[in-house]
Structure 1
Amino acid sequence: MDSTVNSTQVISTDSSLPFAQLHAWAVSIMVPAAPAILLFGLISNIINIIVFFKAGLKDNVTTLLFFLAISDLTFIILITPTPCTKIILRFARSWSWPFPLDFTYLLLYWPAFTAYDLSAFISVSLGVMRCACVAMPLKFKLVFTRRRTILTVLALFVLAVSLRIPVLSIFRVAWRTDAATNVTTAYLAAVNRVAMSRINDVMNRGLVVWINYAIMVSCVALLSFKLFQASKIRRSCSSKSDSTSKKTAGDGLSSKDLQVIKSVVIVCAIFIFSQLPFLLYSTARLINPELTSTSRMRRLFSFFSHVSLTCSYLNASINIFVYYNYNSKYRSVLISLLSFRKKH
């Protein structure tokens, strides 16, 4: 869901260019909204980390959700300078920058989306593990132990960093001296930007995102079918007043298991919908290389970038609502923490 936008073209309003109105709409609505979304995401993910830690990382789902909150929080912290730069360019153009503009706009951009990639991989793992739970509920706990889950997250972290090495190597801080004043200043140097960006386009924007998306959609479809099937069984059991069957309706899955599946399905669905704008425009960019930040189609590119970035902010911020509504353990721990604070 990343977008490489030239910082000098972040806020430009040349109405003669194609798609200028679309771009202007995105700038006027999405740019001001970004700080509020990110602030909420910062607070919500800190709460998620505390609650899951207090609940105890005793099962694979809680462990994965704990690390998902950490990766989402890391993404939000690292990406925050980028939308803040856009805000300044939008509402305080005359502000005197004490350092090069690229420092706040680009320096942490790719590390931020490396963390976002890790969140995507963890979300995919959640879906796969829940599908495995449905396929083999009796063996599930033996296969996906807590230790193996932690090792899986570490492997996913290495994978996320490795895949982003081409773009992580582009920007570096360099120094130059003004011959007239003999003053040395820092600037952001770009190395092999075109070649590394193209590798990133093909690999991370193309192959990886499509694999993630296909796996996630398949998992959501399977789990949604399982929930539908379990719902039918429960209605049948309810009509027969069979209380014992109600507890294990759904091929051996308990009510608690079904609630966990619901929460995973919604988290995965949020990922699917938030990833869709990026999936569409990144694929279009591979087909039509003219869709870049420096071509005549840069307004259209910028519009999709704003939409994609806003969706990524939301994806990293709103899981707290899912956990509170569908995770009884999360809800009870959060309420107990809030009650404790009120008493003191």
Structure 2
Amino acid sequence: MDTINVSFVNFSTPSVDVSAEESVRFLDTAQAISLRRSLYYAVNTFILTVSVITNMLNIVTFIKAGLLEGMSCLFLSLSLSDLLHCALILVERSLGIAEVFYHQHPYFKLMVMAFFLTRNAAIWHVISTLLTVFAAIQKCACVTFPLTFRFFFTRKRSVFVIFLIYLCVIISYIPVYVVDTVGPYFSTRFNRTRLGYRIRNFKVYKGSADYYLFAHYVWLPFVALSINILCVIIMTWKLRIAARTRKDMTAGGKSQARDPSRETAASQTSNSNKIGSESVEIDRNTHKKVIDGSDDVKLSNNEKNAALSERELRVLRSVNLVCGIFIGGTAPYCILNSCALFLDSFDHRGRDFTLYYILVSFQEIWYFGSTSLNIFVYYIYNSKFKKALRGIFSPCLSIVKLSESD
């Protein structure tokens, strides 16, 4: 077996040898270490804790509200993958904090365990990305081709696609996980056997790791970001068309209901009670048709397709906001990866490694913070979720009110 001792970046010294002229950095090394550790271990840990709590609330609330719709199942699965991703990263941060106090443990190194947790968290990040893309494509297809896809994505089909995404991603990562393990190795520093990172087959691991690193850090985020941006543009455009159509229908109904010619006709036939009652009945029926948007309001085919129901509009807005939150959290990630690919000095081993680590810390705060914002979208645009969430907190609120009254 090939045994490799995992080496992590030492923030106290530069990762590369540079000359005195090239050692000028954006921040002094000591300042960068302090800022990096504050962001990485303090702020990031707090954001991850909030994200774990909110996603747990999402899961409990969706289960209590009922999974009668495909979009509810999709949001539940998205909350589950976000929860597992953030929970594993939170444990990794906790192990990093513990490593500061127990870094000279005689047998094992906590950062080795943290490395495995971080790598396993990548699975759930990929699943969350694919689920967001599926939600964007689903609603975009429903509003773009409503006659074809409005009733195509049923609950059973959505659950099948969700299960397929989970299964395919987990199976695809098996080649990486079967070639390495945790095993004993002899540490020359401590002059004893310690528990470290061991690779069974280095050639297989190197080939699979290169492929998955490219797919995870380059191909997937850029493709997912592009698809979500395109779908958000289309959904926003359709939302504007739907809002304008509903406004025109409402304005047409008011004008037709208040037509002066009808009032004149009704006054001319007021001498006959029978004729008068019939005219009033016709006016009421006409007014009802106008409000319901039936044949009295002449709409084109595009306008009829755009005339979404109130429930469909709320679902569309919620998916649009979830995709927008995903774009806001993923765009800095793609920008940093692009800079690291094209700039040799801008990575964890380059000349500007201090600036790189600080920007990565801010990017992580932004991304993990975005995973905790979905609960507000569900609460605003999902009436069942809102009612179920209030039901969860109603006992606590009643206890608070009783204590205040006493």
Structure-2-length-normalised TM-score = 0.72
Task: Please name the residue that 1:146 is paired with.
Answer: 155
**8 Å contact 1:291–1:298 — kept in the other structure?**
yes
Distance 1:163 1:280 in 2: 26
Runs of 5+ unmatched residues, structure 2: 1-5, 15-22, 255-289, 295-302, 400-406
Contact 1:38 1:313 (8 Å CA) reproduced: yes
Alignment-derived partner of residue 236 in structure 2: 224
Residue type at the aligned position of 2:185? R
CA deviation after TM superposition for structure 1 residue 145, in Å: 1.9
Q: Distance in 2 between matches of 1:306 and 1:343?
A: 41
Q: Secondary structure at the match of 2:182?
A: strand
CA contact (8 A) 1:63 1:149 kept: yes
Residue from 287, 292, 297 that aligns with 1:244:
292
* Residue of 354, 359, 375 corresponding to 1:304: 359
Deviations 1:216-248 (A, max 9, x none): 1111000011111112223323334354249x9
Match of 1:173 among 165, 174, 182: 182
The amino acid that maps onto 1:233 is T
SS at match of 1:172: strand
Question: Higher Cα Rg: structure 1 or 2?
Answer: 2
Which residue number corresponds to residue 297 of structure 2?
A: none
Matches within 5 A, 1:283-302: 283-288=338-343, 290-302=345-357
Q: CA deviation at 1:128?
A: 0.7
Equivalent residue in structure 2 for 1:115, among 124, 127, 142: 124
Aligned-partner SS, 1:292: coil
Match of 1:51 in 2: 61
| Number of aligned positions between the proteins | 335
Contact 1:166 1:200 (C-alpha < 8 Å) held by counterparts: no
Residue 267 of structure 1 corresponds to: 322
TM-score (norm 1): 0.84
CA contact (8 A) 1:202 1:286 kept: no
Which residue in the other structure is 2:263 paired with?
none
TM-superposed CA distance for 1:212, in Å, is 0.9
Map of 1:105 onto structure 2: 114
| Shift of residue 203, structure 1, vs aligned partner | 2.2
- Displacement of 1:35 in angstroms is 1.6
Q: Distance in 1 between matches of 2:192 and 2:101?
A: 24
Moved more, 77-86 or 222-231: 77-86
Which amino acid in the other structure matches residue 244 of structure 1?
D
Amino acid at match of 1:319: N
Rounded Cα–Cα distance in structure 2 between residues aligned with 1:37 and 1:279: 21
Sequence identity of aligned pairs in percent? 25
Aligned partner (choices 245, 262, 267) of residue 233 of structure 1: 245
Residue 186, structure 1, aligned to residue 198, structure 2 = no
| Aligned-partner residue type, residue 240 of structure 2 | F
The Cα shift of 1:54 comes to 1.6
Which runs of 5 or more residues in structure 1 are unaligned? none
Partner residue, 2:89: 79
The structure 2 residue matched to 1:65, chosen from 75, 80, 84, is 75
CA, structure 1 residues 118+282, in 2 after alignment: closer, same or farther (shift >3 Å)? Answer: same
| Greater shift in the superposed pair: 211-220 or 304-313 | 304-313
Residue 71 of structure 1 deviates from its aligned partner by 0.5
Partner of 1:42: 52
Equivalent runs, 1:319-330 vs 2, <5 Å: 319-330=374-385
1:208 aligns with 2:217: no
Contact 1:74/1:115 (8 A) holds in 2: yes
Q: Structure 1: how far apart are the matches of 2:172 and 2:356? A: 23
Contact 1:41–1:313 (CA under 8 A) maintained in structure 2: yes
In structure 2, distance between residues paired with 1:278 and 1:20: 21
Provide Cα deviations, 1:301-329, integer angstroms capped at 9, x if missing partner.
Answer: 32332133223311322211111122222
Partner of 2:281: none
Contact residue 233 and residue 250 of structure 1 kept, 8 A: no
3-state SS of paired residue (2:308) = coil
Q: What CA RMSD, in Å, does the superposition of the two structures yield over aligned residues?
A: 3.3
Query: Does 2:52 correspond to 1:20?
Result: no
**SS state at 1:20 partner:** coil
Local SS of the residue matching 2:196:
strand
The match for 2:166 is: 157
- Pick closer, same or farther for the CA change 1:200–1:18 going to 2, 3 Å: farther
Instruction: Name the stretch that deviates more: 26-35 or 47-56.
Output: 26-35
Q: Does the CA contact (< 8 Å) of 1:277 and 1:307 recur in 2? A: no
Distance 2:26 2:181 in 1: 33
